Amino acid sequence: MAEAIQAAITAVGHYLPENRLTNADLEEMVETNDEWIRTRTGIEERRILKDDDKATAFMGAKAAKEVLEQRGITGEEIDTIILATVTPDYLFPATACLVQNEIGASNAYAFDLSAACSGFLYALTTGANFIESGRAEKVLVIGADKMSSIIDYTDRSTCILFGDGAGAVLLEPSEDETGIIDYIHRSEGDTNLSLYQPAGGSLNPASEQTVAERLHYARQDGRTVFKKATVGMADVSAEIMEKNDLEADDVAWLVPHQANLRIINATANRMGLDSDKVMVNIDKYGNTTAATIPLCLYDWKDELEHGDNLILAAFGGGYTWGSIYLKWGWK
């Protein structure tokens, strides 16, 4: 019987726009203040892609090119590209196809995946399945969002939270015991539409009325989403530890979706982890939706050691949530 193949991360890339939107800037735009934002979210600034002619594909391609450079390979060697986003350049074609062209991945097939803030987790396990089945040798997984394109900067409940950015990883067959060990993903149809973009889809296509009523911007019931996310992300993180007989001492790092510092802390507490084992960069970037987790991996890549046990966890619109247990394989 052939040995089971595991998918390991072998390179990490990122892209962040240069423009910074600080809490002080937001004080000039809406009725809010720096202390209120920091104490309730942990955010101090976020990056904004200002160029009108650049969008999610641009950022995703930048992150992907860094992955190729770090791994010392060309785009032609990539088999599959999966791009997680809720801010595609177009409804179609897939943004992943635009990235494919930009990086010269002429032998790959590419598609988008939409699961909001859980998108990167879903994309990572989807990519791992291609590796584990033997159908692919090199899978590029990207999380990228230009959230500023769907944020109403007169709505203080959302505009303080989100930023733009992209992160990417390369998945390849593991050469040892490292790689993606296990995952738990969940979803629950949010019929109350607590976190959604009202218009732009087939139910409410663009019209003069939808534009006038500002229905093409993201909306959320912050209190409801906060409660669901706090419970969901903490529960699924504790569940994957229990499922794999992991104690807090066995976990090197929690890599959480960066939505709110209080949600992150609640998840760490449920797992029994001290704060020095938790990746947090929400203060610098805000919530970049599908990009948060790969951006964490990029920022901490020099501190990660071969064989480290990582728990990745996220919660997003849909509702969607999940966790991944992986052993770090990049040497």
Domain that includes residue 269, residue range? 180-327
Greatest Cα pair distance in the chain: 65
Tell me which of 117, 159, 260, 296 is the catalytic residue. Answer: 117
Is 274 contained in some domain? yes
φ and ψ of 287, to 5 deg: -95, 105
Checking if the pLDDT of 1 tops 60, the result is no
Tell me which of 23, 97, 257, 260 is the catalytic residue. Answer: 257
Checking if the pLDDT of 114 tops 50, the result is yes
Q: What is the pLDDT of residue 300?
A: 98
Tell me which of 23, 265, 287, 296 is the catalytic residue. Answer: 287
Place of tokens 């600034």: 45
- Are 31 and 146 contained in the same domain? yes
Mean pLDDT on 198-210: 97
Checking if the pLDDT of 3 tops 90, the result is no
Other beta carbons within 10 angstroms of residue 104's beta carbon come to 14
117 is catalytic: yes
- Are 140 and 202 contained in the same domain? no
Yes or no: say if 143 and 84 are a contact pair by the CB < 8 Å rule. yes
- Are 129 and 191 contained in the same domain? no
- Are 266 and 234 contained in the same domain? yes
Checking if the pLDDT of 209 tops 70, the result is yes
Q: Is the dihedral of CA 315, 317, 318, 319 positive or negative?
A: positive
Q: What is the pLDDT of residue 84?
A: 99
Segment 16-34, tens digit of pLDDT: 999 999 999 999 999 999 9
Kindly list the strands in the beta sheet with 7-15, ordered across the sheet, starting from the edge strand earlier in the chain. Answer: 7-15, 164-173, 139-146, 80-84, 109-113
Segment 155-196, tens digit of pLDDT: 999 999 999 999 999 999 999 999 999 999 999 999 999 999
Say whether 268 sits in a helix, a strand or coil: helix
Q: Quote the CA–CA distance of 30 and 261 in Å, as a whole number.
A: 22
Burial of 190 (0-12, 13-18, 19+ CB in 10 A): middle
97 is catalytic: no
Mean model confidence pLDDT for the chain: 97
Is 168 contained in some domain? yes
Question: For the chain, first and last CA: distance in Å?
Answer: 29
Is 63 contained in some domain? yes
Segment 124-145, tens digit of pLDDT: 999 999 999 999 999 999 999 9
Checking if the pLDDT of 63 tops 60, the result is yes
pLDDT category at 2 given cuts 50, 70, 90 is low
Task: Look at residues 117, 143, 178 and tell me which one is the last residue of a structural domain.
Answer: 178
